[in-house]
Structure 1
């Protein structure tokens, strides 16, 4: 069967073709393996539907599910199986289900395996498809009964299909023998699906291309989800593949004292980490840069893990930051995220889309503590954040991350140390002086230029953020309990009864 089609068969799965560098090589046999519920059937239906939309003949050979079950499964995703997709339901002859007609001496697995193979070939010759799905290999493995016979059977199928130039997808639910890698060495490519169940939250799914002969592909694990409409894959982000030319200018916050502390502001295309205990105003400092950017005509995106949006809108409006108005004008994208329902790959994809489609010049992730809750391991978190920051930096985007430390004063610890991957680190602290709890801010790191080495006190009132002059005459401010070392005082005066908002 000759074909005028492209060299690659698109899978129809969003993100998967990117991982496969364009799709599946035509005329070859591929293996899609994973435990029951991992998403094999859904991907197979999308693969055939994509072919049908391109005018190709498609064949689904089912050894485990009935035709009605397949149609119901496709319909649940809004996929309608049309006449271009032939479903061949390969079931045992009725005589095999009748105990009186079963032959205990003459009937053997050899005869049943041979009959199964014959029916597969007959259906193929009748349809002459461009794309084929065989679901699943577990049935053939059980009929073969030995690894040698199973390998020979797979080789026979491979050689038969290769002569016809059809693109074949073999499904394996890995229920009969999870250690048998016979098919891996025979097929042209292997895609492995994993279905994970965390201690809390929704199940997580990820895939990995184990093998693809003669073709470079995007290695490693890639998160994916199954929703109405089918499978969506989120290719693992590689910042090195994305580079945008931009002018490195200094971005101000709109607060003179804060910009002075930062040596003029933060450089465009850099990442800033705001770290401190709960209630010190980390989010508010990040939102100050958002408001300043929007005032200059830019756009911003905020991803909130920890706070309900209604509460955030109310408390920021009380101090002069109307986030709702910014959103309604189309200048701000703000999104509340549920860490228990979100994978790191999907989150990275959402951030990428906001930068690409919304043209956000400032991105706020509030907070890394919530982001960490969606991560299985801390080491993976650091790698994900590093890659995401590198990507955003290369797009000329300013990123602001917040991290809440454990404790309030004295020795405080962070749940994860990412200070080394941020370009600028702003440290917020509580300290006690003259019987009052006060706040202090300092810049402990800035890669892109000089900054003040001082500590400034700040307060939060109805006017927003107010920073004072550098603190002098005290030492031990960052430890929480400063001591007076000179008569010179530079602490801010806080009016009695003032209600400070955190």
Structure 2
């Protein structure tokens, strides 16, 4: 989908939201911004007015629920400045309606208050002549209207009045009075729906969806967003088909001849590799071997770590001859530790994409999918997110390395989620027992882009890094973890020199 925006769009000032809206809000129309209290409506509304002020447009914030001091305090907490181009109009109920002795007995006070409120809104608009208007919130007007018919007529009156003036209007609805009332949905030009979810563990997750936008294509589906100091940041859903680039599909090496042979000469550029195995088999070590080889070729690389503390990772890999800390300090690699409990999948995809776009990273490590899965609401969402992310990275000519820890150590092992069909290459790591010792074996069980060895090789991880032996032709049942010795022609790797346990 082409999301290029016409110059006439009223930009929201919310990072990422204009991309979702294909450029912003159509000027001169009324839009609904709805969500439960705390979803971020007021913050988005303030950003909308501040962006207008930056462009020289007069803004008006009409508040029926919050006081002006509360609004200014909320804006100040984000570092927002409400200057002379933004007017805050606080609608205060008439004192006679607050005094029980002065209330009418034959005429509902709400009738008087609704009419008085509407007059005050129109008077404020005529006085200020704004180009952007925020009305906060519709719940107060819905309560004053008392009936669905009167409420609809009131909204229509507001819509037609603002349309004649050419103002772009945001109506805020906190959904506290009647969440099933869709009256405004049919009246307004567009509807932005905000949601806040509380997982069983971790911080709250927020997402938004464009329910309606008349005469305008937009990016459908849910889009994660966060509220941080400075305002709301939206992470548009990644659509890999929108991103294409040309690159040479040459083969890349890991700088270990035996592993390159196992992979049929190396990996094709712009492909994804899944490294699968139980805990401790060296999945991270394999992936970082490819990262170090990419650095040696002069390429930019990026690693996103879910499971391991960076200090421990640096110390462990330094003992294997991979000094990641020096590479990071020299600006050769970008390495980032992530907390799945605090990170939405949309934000993670945005971080990966930003790193690849800005630094032109050609090798990306995600360690591990188990940690990534923790930020997903369910397995189906994980598969869809991974598909789009891998397709995007492949189209940029980047090689992606994913690790998955399987349950168990030997025998029948299962992964928490099956993503083998998404990867172009699958490397399987296993423990096996032979000659009274626990050993490790590696095999390539899938490669879409050409030939690969169908052998099983023993490997070791020691102070020299990864060391590989000849194909294990004298054994069968190695991948089950309980091999049978069927010949005497297979030499095993020597075990002196200090084996290193690695994940």
Normalised to the residue count of structure 1, the TM-score between the two structures is 0.98
Distance 1:400 1:245 in 2: 21
Aligned residue number for residue 375 of structure 1: 376
SS in 2 for 1:289: helix
Task: State the shift of 1:435 in Å.
Answer: 1.1
Aligned residue number for residue 67 of structure 1: 68
Aligned residue number for residue 404 of structure 1: 405
Aligned residue number for residue 501 of structure 2: 501
SS in 1 for 2:322: coil
Structure 2, unpaired ranges of 5+: 1-5
Distance 2:473 2:495 in 1: 17
Is the aligned partner of 1:285 residue 2:279?
Answer: no
Distance 2:108 2:186 in 1: 32
SS in 2 for 1:260: helix
Distance 2:399 2:75 in 1: 43
Task: State the shift of 1:107 in Å.
Answer: 4.2
Distance 1:83 1:16 in 2: 25
* Paired residues of 1:458 and 1:465 also in contact (CA < 8 A): yes
Distance 1:348 1:490 in 2: 45
Deviations 1:418-473 (A, max 9, x none): 00000000000000111100000000000001000000000000000001111111
Aligned residue number for residue 252 of structure 1: 253
SS in 2 for 1:24: coil
* Paired residues of 1:271 and 1:400 also in contact (CA < 8 A): yes
Task: State the shift of 1:112 in Å.
Answer: 1.6
* Paired residues of 2:97 and 2:109 also in contact (CA < 8 A): no
* Paired residues of 2:64 and 2:91 also in contact (CA < 8 A): yes
SS in 1 for 2:479: coil
Write out the 4+ residue segments of structure 1 that deviate beyond 6 Å after TM superposition. Answer: none
Aligned residue number for residue 202 of structure 1: 203
Deviations 1:69-102 (A, max 9, x none): 0000000000010011010000101222222222
Distance 1:89 1:65 in 2: 8
Task: State the shift of 1:109 in Å.
Answer: 2.0
Is the aligned partner of 1:20 residue 2:21?
Answer: yes
Task: State the shift of 1:489 in Å.
Answer: 2.3
Aligned residue number for residue 364 of structure 1: 365
Of the structure 1 ranges 351-360 and 171-180, higher mean CA displacement relative to structure 2 is found in 351-360
SS in 2 for 1:383: helix
Aligned residue number for residue 344 of structure 2: 343
Deviations 1:180-232 (A, max 9, x none): 00000000000000010000000000000000000000000000000000000
SS in 2 for 1:288: helix
Aligned residue number for residue 475 of structure 2: 474
* Paired residues of 1:13 and 1:232 also in contact (CA < 8 A): yes
Aligned residue number for residue 166 of structure 1: 167
* Paired residues of 1:470 and 1:490 also in contact (CA < 8 A): no
Aligned residue number for residue 275 of structure 1: 276
Is the aligned partner of 1:389 residue 2:390?
Answer: yes
SS in 1 for 2:101: coil
Distance 2:345 2:501 in 1: 32
SS in 2 for 1:459: strand
Aligned residue number for residue 30 of structure 1: 31
Deviations 1:277-331 (A, max 9, x none): 0000000000000000000111110000000000000010011000011111111
Aligned residue number for residue 107 of structure 2: 106
Give the number of equivalent residue pairs: 497
Alignment map for 1:143-154 (pairs within 5 Å): 143-154=144-155
* Paired residues of 2:103 and 2:109 also in contact (CA < 8 A): no
* Paired residues of 1:472 and 1:490 also in contact (CA < 8 A): no
Alignment map for 1:153-192 (pairs within 5 Å): 153-192=154-193
Aligned residue number for residue 53 of structure 1: 54
Structure 1, unpaired ranges of 5+: none
Distance 1:475 1:464 in 2: 27
Aligned residue number for residue 444 of structure 1: 445
Is the aligned partner of 1:92 residue 2:90?
Answer: no
* Paired residues of 2:58 and 2:129 also in contact (CA < 8 A): yes
